[in-house]
Structures are given as structure tokens and as C-alpha cells.
Amino acid sequence: MAVCLRTLVLFVTFSACLGALRDWCPEQQEASNGFNTTQLQLALSGKKITCGAVVYPPFSIYNEETGQWSGFDIELFAEVARRGNFEYEIVKIGNPPEGETYDYILYGVGREMDMMCSWWGETAARKRRSFDFTIPTIDTSFILATPAPRPTQVPFKEQFWTFLKPFSRDLWLVLLFGVLFSSIFLYIVDPKTAAVYQEGSEEAGREEGTGVLAALRSSANAVSNLFYQGWVLCTVQDPYKNANSPWSKLYLMSWTGVIIVLLAAYTAQLTTFLIIELQSISSINNLDDLLRSGKPACAMTGISFVNTFLKNSAPSLPVVPIKNIEEAFPAIRQGRCGAALLGKSEVELMIAGNEQCDMRMVGSSLNFLAGAFAADSSNCGLFVLRVADAILQAIREEGMMEEMWEGYTEVPSGCLSASGTEEEKDQALSLEAVGGLFIIHAAVAFVAILGFSLQQYQKGKKPAQIAELKGNLESKELRVSC
């Protein structure tokens, strides 16, 4: 009973003091109903108001040593007060108790202030509790912050067969069969054109002489010529530009269409594999990626509308609680979470102050939410908001609000140059990505050179063998004559 009486006395005393503090407010609010914009902007001229601010870097920063405030919110409110010709006193408001959200502050000590001069999220729940807001000063729509992409070294053995990836194994086999079938079909249907290749094999056969080995070599030459003939059809098709048979022409038109489509598809798919898949990109580019990864998100669960969003839009998303936005980037670097769920303006400010240049904003906004100055509309705060609104509207129309914001969110030049360099590296095709193709080509070239060398060696031996044979014959003839 005694506790209840003391609480009642304190409440009455506080209400009386508050009424004395704001004894000008009801009359001034009533008189301001007919004010034009200029009169409304100066409606608080010569007055002094108290505004509450939560320490929330980099929006509202408090220096314990000097007692001075700084930050975007503070600078913007100072401009409002200057234009409105009124004085203000900033009251530092501490963080909510453990287990409570920031609404605990707003609905408690926030009602003691003429207004809040650090931003608060404009939500329907807060409006139902008689809090109103100025025009938006920042964009607090939720968005994800993730590590910026960095080049990754893919092992060469994993890239060796990359040039084959655009097509499946079955498609490669069908294409190989098409090459062989085309060569056999055209050899049969259009023998006059195919004779160019047959002549080469026949000449090679005549050079090899007779016998089983020579027959096998001649057959191998014929098969290789047929395969070469079919392979050439996939590229230049020069031997068949003047085909003789109408059936070979019909077939060639159809096969050419197939090759054109396959080459275009291969080029497009190869670009995907060599540039997009092998470039260094973050595995998390939106909320769906984060959910699929199973990694948690860092979020300020001490803010009620953050919890509401998580409950309604991402109920299965694991969350790592953080107390303020300054904990977000270190938590990502330490691997405690895969991304941070923050307001868009918060991420922009954090990236601007991130000297390591290792974070980025990904995806589009996940909802629409604005941050603004707030006041208790049931306790004369609506009048103060109307004055601040009229001044903020002028500041925004003049472009000054945007200029102030750009001054806080300008990305360091070092981060911009580093980002451009990394992007150029990511877009450049590396030697490792197509190294397997060159190695295979080098192996084929080595076999061709070796075969050519052996062929030349065999040709060089034949004159000597013939000369030796002639010499032997001549010596035998001499012996016989003798």
C-alpha cells in the first residue's frame, strides 16, 4: 500500500512538473492551426525544448569526455533548431534493460521529452500507442549486408575439363556419333566430293606396299580421313560448298542448322562456366540464398519491428542477436553469421566507415520502413512535430538533407579503387580456366610432330635401303658373270 502511494505521489509530481514545463504548448498549438508555412516554422521561436537521444553510432554519437553530441541525426536536428530559432537540450537516454526492446524506452522516458531527436522506426504499433513521426529522414527498410566478393583460387585440376562442361556427356557422345555418321553418309551419297579424301588414303596405301600391315595402315588412313571429313563439316564445311548430290545438299543444310545451334549454345554455356561460375562471388546474394545456406543472420532483436519482420517473413531463419549495428560486421568476419539484417541507411553508413572495404549490401529492400524523429502526440508532442516537419520539408526540398547524408555515406576512395580492381579481375578469363584445352591441344600437336618425324625418318631410310639393295644385286651379278 505504501509503495502504491509513493508511486502515485511521484506520478502526480511528475505530471505537474511536466505541465509547468509545457504550459505554453496547448495555447501555442491551438493558435498555430491557422499558420502558414513560414509562421509554422517559427512557431517555437525563442522557446526551449528537451529532446531525447539514444546513443546509436553513427547516427547519434555521444562523447563522454566533452559531453558533446555528433552524428547525422544530431546535425540534422541542429539545423532544424537553427532555422526554427529555438533552443534545445539533448537528454542522453540509456539502452533498454536486458530482455526489453527499445519500445521500453520510447513508451517510458520518451513520453517525458518534447520529442526524440534520434531516429525511430515509424510503425503502426507505435502510432497506436500515441506516438507520431516527422517526415522520413532515413530509409530503414531491411536489407542484407554480406562479405564483399574476393578472388578465390580454384584448383587447376577442377578447371581442367571446364571446356567440356557446357554440354552433358550424352550430348558429346551424340555429337561425336553425328560427326562419324555425317562422314560415312556423305562418303556413300556424294562419292565424287569424298574422293578428295580417298585419294590421300590410296596414295598412302600405295606407298606402304602390300601385305597385312600395309592393309591395316591403309584402313586406318581411310578411317582417319573420314573422321576428319566429318569434323570439318562442323566448322568451315569448305569441301562441300559445291556438293554434287541433291541428297547430300539436303543433308548438309540440315546438319548445318544443327551445328549452328550447337555452336551458339556451346558459346553461351561456356561463357557461363568460364566467367560466371569461376568468378569470385559471394554465395549469399539475397534472403533466399541465406535461407538455403543454413547460416544465421545477425540482427538487433532488441528492436520490436525487427522481431516482427523475422517472425512474419523469415520464421525459419536462425538469428544471432546483436546489441548495436557496430557489432554486425565483426560478427560476420568472425563467422558467427553469414549476413546481417539491418536498415538500408544503417548499412550505407557502416560501409562508408568500413576501412577494410570487405562488406557490401546485397539484394533489394525486404520491406518498406522509414526512420524519423518521434514525439508523444498525446502530450503536446504533435505541435513540436508539426514545426519540425515544416522545417524538414524545406531542408529536403533544398537538397540539403541529401547533401548531409552523402557526406556521411561517402565510400572511401581506397575502397572504390579496390572494388574496381577486383571486379576487373573477376571479369577477366584466366589461363587456368581454359588450360586443359591447351594441354590437350599440346599433346595432340606432340603426337602429330612425333608421327611426322617418324614418317620423315622412314622416308629417309628408304633411299638408303634401295641403294643397299641395288648394291647387293650388282655384286651378285658380278659374281655370276665371273
Give the mean pLDDT per block of 10 residues along the chain (482 residues).
39 40 54 75 91 91 93 95 95 88 90 92 91 93 87 64 77 78 69 53 49 62 63 56 64 71 77 58 78 92 89 92 91 93 92 88 90 88 89 94 91 61 48 63 68 70 63 60 54
Q: How far apart are CA 11 and CA 47, in angstroms?
A: 26
Q: Clarify whether residues 273 and 341 are in a common domain.
A: no
Closest CA to 85 of 128, 114, 111, 47: 47
Question: In this predicted structure, what is the pLDDT of residue 35?
Answer: 77
Q: Clarify whether residues 129 and 73 are in a common domain.
A: yes
Question: In this predicted structure, what is the pLDDT of residue 243?
Answer: 60
Q: How far apart are CA 380 and CA 263, in angstroms?
A: 74
Q: Clarify whether residues 222 and 248 are in a common domain.
A: yes
C-alpha cell at 320: 544471432
Within a domain: residue 9? no
Residues spanned by the domain of 212 = 156-277
Enter the pTM of the model: 0.59
Closest CA to 71 of 81, 56, 62, 61: 61
Q: Clarify whether residues 268 and 243 are in a common domain.
A: yes
Q: Clarify whether residues 448 and 416 are in a common domain.
A: no
Within a domain: residue 191? yes
Q: How far apart are CA 305 and CA 141, in angstroms?
A: 11
Question: In this predicted structure, what is the pLDDT of residue 151?
Answer: 53
Q: Clarify whether residues 436 and 333 are in a common domain.
A: no
Q: Which residues of 330-355 are buried (b: 16+ CB within 10 A; e: fewer)?
A: ebbeeeebbbbbbbbbbbbbbbbebe
If one counts the domains in the chain, the total is: 4
Q: Clarify whether residues 104 and 236 are in a common domain.
A: no
C-alpha cell at 345: 541507411
Question: In this predicted structure, what is the pLDDT of residue 62?
Answer: 94
Q: Clarify whether residues 217 and 324 are in a common domain.
A: no
Q: Clarify whether residues 174 and 252 are in a common domain.
A: yes
Looking at residue 63, its amino acid is N
Q: Clarify whether residues 247 and 262 are in a common domain.
A: yes
